[in-house]
Amino acid sequence: MVAAYDQLRSEGYIDARRGSGAFVANVPPDHLLSARSIAAKPLHPSKNDRQTDLRPPEHRPLPFSPGAVDQDLFPTQLWSRLLDRAWRRHGCNLLNRSDARGHVPLQHAISEHLKIWRAIDCDAEQIFVTSGSAEGLRLVLSSLLDKPDRVFLEDPGYDTFRRVVADQRHEAVCCPVDGEGLDIAEAERRTPNARAAIVTASRHYPLGVTMSLARRLALLDWAKRTGGWIIEDDYDSEYRYAGRPLATLMSLDETERVIYLGSFSKVLFPTLRLGYVVAPQGAVDLFTTALRSIGSSASMVAQPALTEFIESGAFASHIRRMRRVYGRRLVALRQALDTHCQGLLEPAGTDGGMHIVARLSEKLARDTSDIELSRRAHAAGLIAPAISSHAIEHHDVQGLVLGFAAFQECELANGVRCLASVLTKR
CA-CA distance, 233 to 240, in Å (whole number)?
16
> Least distance from C-beta 70 to a second copy, angstroms?
8
Q: Kindly determine how many residues on this chain lie close enough to bind a second copy according to the rule CB under 8 A.
A: 118
Q: Are 337 and 355 in contact (CB under 8 A)?
A: no
Give the CA count within 13 Å in the CB-facing half-sphere of 189: 6
Rounded least distance, CB 162 to a second copy, Å: 10
Q: Does 395 bind a second copy (CB under 8 A)?
A: no
With contact defined as beta carbons under 8 Å apart, do 145 and 194 qualify? Answer: no
Closest distance between a second copy and the C-beta of residue 19, in Å? Answer: 13
Q: Between 198 and 341, whose beta carbon lies closer to a second copy?
A: 198
Yes or no: say if 242 and 84 are a contact pair by the CB < 8 Å rule: no
* 119 vs 365 by CB, closer to a second copy: 119
- Cβ proximity to a second copy: between 36 and 417 the closer is 36
Find the shortest distance in angstroms from Cβ 150 to a second copy.
14
Stretch of 85-93, 329-337, 365-373, 393-401 lying at the interface with a second copy (CB under 8 A):
85-93
Taking alpha carbons only, the member of 327, 331, 333 closest to residue 402 is 333
Q: Segment 322-361, which members bind a second copy (CB under 8 A)?
A: none
> Counting Cβ atoms within 10 Å, is residue 348 exposed (0-12), middle (13-18) or buried (19+)?
middle
CA dist 142 and 286 (Å) reads 10
CA 401 – CA 396 distance, rounded (Å) = 15
Looking at residue 170, its amino acid is H
Q: Which of residues 266-325 bind a second copy (CB under 8 A)?
A: 269-274, 293-302, 304, 307-308, 311, 320
Of 37, 191, 368, 408, which lies in the binding site for a second copy, with binding defined by CB under 8 A? 37
Give residues 88-107 in contact with a second copy (rule: CB under 8 A): 88, 90-98, 103-105
Residue 118 within binding range of a second copy, rule CB under 8 A: yes
Alpha carbon separation from 183 to 172, 207, 371, 408 (Å, rounded): 16, 15, 26, 37
Interaction with a second copy in 46-75: which residues (CB under 8 A)?
A: 50-51, 53-59, 61, 65, 67-69, 71-72, 74
* Chosen residue from 4, 221, 342, 372 binding a second copy by CB under 8 A: 4
Report if residue 420 touches a second copy, rule: CB under 8 A: no
CB 236 within 8 A of CB 248: no
> Please, what is the minimum distance in Å from the beta carbon of residue 244 to a second copy?
4
Q: How far apart are the first and last CA of the chain?
A: 57
Among 126, 143, 200, 248, binds a second copy (CB under 8 A): 248
Distance CA 113, CA 35 (A): 52
- Work out whether 244 is an interface residue with a second copy (CB under 8 A): yes
Cα 290 to Cα 285: distance, rounded to the nearest angstrom: 9
Q: In terms of CB distance, is 301 or 365 closer to a second copy?
A: 301
193 binds a second copy (CB under 8 A): no
Q: Minimum CB separation from a second copy for residue 68, in Å? A: 5
Instruction: Mark 199-238 with x for binding to a second copy (rule: CB under 8 A) and - for no binding.
Output: -----------x-xxx-xx---------------------
Interface positions, 126-165, toward a second copy (CB under 8 A): 131-132, 134-135, 138, 142, 148, 159-160, 163-164
Helix 314-340 and helix 104-118: axis angle, to 10°?
Answer: 50
Closest approach of Cβ 419 to a second copy, in Å?
Answer: 20
Q: Which of 241, 331 has the CB closer to a second copy?
A: 241
- Using left for φ > 0, alpha for ψ between -120 and 50, and beta otherwise, residue 212 falls in beta
CA distance 309 to 316: 9
Shortest approach of a second copy to residue 365 CB, angstroms? 27
Angle at 24 between CA 23 and CA 28, to 5 degrees: 95
Cα torsion angle, 339, 345, 346, 348, sign: negative
Q: Which stretch binds a second copy (CB under 8 A): 33-41, 184-192, 223-231, 327-335?
A: 33-41
When the beta carbons of 119 and 392 are compared against a second copy, the nearer one is 119
